[in-house]
Amino acid sequence: NAGVTQTPKFQVLKTGQSMTLQCAQDMNHNSMYWYRQDPGMGLRLIYYSASEGTTDKGEVPNGYNVSRLNKREFSLRLESAAPSQTSVYFCASSEAPGTATYEQYFGPGTRLTVT
């Protein structure tokens, strides 16, 4: 049981390049999330998917797109990377909010640097 996995762990991009961050969970969770974490800012929600087939914007969606490929996988795409997107990106999953076990489980993170 791997929990939440993310690839890659580290990535360096040049301004304007594109890439996709992959996330998968094996806990049969309905909801999945993408966050970014910057020093002094806490975690900020980029996009989330409350259930398979749905996605919604979070607090900081500009410059990103997401795909909920199936129940297990939720990817985050940067179409044209900018230095302001240098951050640590975390994927998380949970059962439906409001359930007794509503806890978000996080992946190990992707450290992205855009030069």
Partner 1 sequence: RKEVEQDPGPFNVPEGATVAFNCTYSNSASQSFFWYRQDCRKEPKLLMSVYSSGNEDGRFTAQLNRASQYISLLIRDSKLSDSATYLCVVSLYNQGGKLIFGQGTELSVKP
Question: Which is closer to partner 1, CB of 15 or CB of 43?
Answer: 43
Q: Which is nearer to partner 1, 85 or 94 (CB)?
A: 94
Q: Closest separation between CB of residue 93 and partner 1, Å?
A: 12
Q: Given the rule CB under 8 A, which residues bind partner 1?
A: 31, 33, 35, 40-45, 48, 50, 56, 58, 90, 94, 96-98, 102-104, 106-109
| CA distances to 10, 47, 48 from 35, in Å | 16, 7, 9
**What is the C-alpha radius of gyration for the chain, rounded to an integer number of angstroms?**
13
Is the CB of 44 or the CB of 72 nearer to partner 1? 44
Closest CB 29 distance from partner 1, rounded Å: 12
Quick one: 17 or 86, whose CB is closer to partner 1?
A: 86
**Which is it for strands 42-49 and 56-57: parallel, antiparallel or unpaired?**
antiparallel
Taking the alpha carbons of 25, 29, 35, 37 in that order, is the dihedral positive or negative? negative
Q: Collect all residues with Cβ–Cβ distance below 8 Å to 33 and sequence separation of at least 6.
A: 45, 47, 48, 49, 58, 74, 91, 92, 93, 94, 104
Shortest distance, position 3 Cβ to partner 1, whole Å = 10
- Minimum distance from residue 42 beta carbon to partner 1 (Å): 4
Supply the DSSP symbol for 60.
Answer: -
